[in-house]
A = this chain, B = another copy of it.
Amino acid sequence: MESSAFLTLSYLPSVHPSKHRNRVYPFMPCKHRSSKSSRIHCQKMYVPGFGEASPEAKAAKNLHNFFTYVAVRIVTAQLESYNTEAYEELMEFLDRHSLNDGDKFCASLMRESSRHKTLAMRILEVRSAYCKNDFEWDNLKRLAVKMVDESNTRLMRDYVSETSSVEKEK
């Protein structure tokens, strides 16, 4: 495996709008996934470019790969202490296969050998348990909201302090 795992979001379409899209709805009341009745009351910003999917679905797909990554880390840490042979096999497999696409990784691992298949089954089990029981969803939201607030403040503060110091120098 590469030393730094990264999850591609290449399934995201470009920011550039498609050429054939002539109409835009700057304040379209809702995303295209609500029922007719809820659309009437929905005051959400229109998010273009996700086609049939939603931003939530794209983010979930990304998290899905992240959970596989976390599951692999959990399983390798477990194996390291009490099954060195399986640990070495998994690490060797990780050297040869990317974890960017979690499902593809698991599918390949299953087909490597019967021993690797057992490891793959365990990774599937762990990612399911981790996602359902261990991952702190409330904490994720709290941290993301905090991050947006802090980043916005920092970006504006940095800009102001930078421009005011430039003006002082003049």
Residues on A facing B (Cβ under 8 Å): 1-17, 24-27, 44-49, 54-64, 66-67, 69-70, 72-74, 76-82, 91, 94, 99, 102-103, 106-107, 110-111, 117, 120-121, 124, 126-137, 139-141, 143-145, 147-149, 151-152, 154-156, 158-159, 162
* Given A73-B48, A103-B155, A106-B155: A94 touches B6 (CB 8 Å cut-off): no
Contact indicator A81/B135 (Cβ below 8 Å): no
Contact indicator A63/B59 (Cβ below 8 Å): yes
14 example contacts (A-B, Cβ-Cβ < 8 A) are as follows A7-B9, A15-B99, A16-B94, A25-B77, A45-B134, A59-B63, A59-B140, A61-B147, A64-B151, A107-B159, A127-B148, A128-B149, A131-B148, A132-B148
Cβ-defined partner of A124 (8 Å) among B58, B62, B63, B156: B156
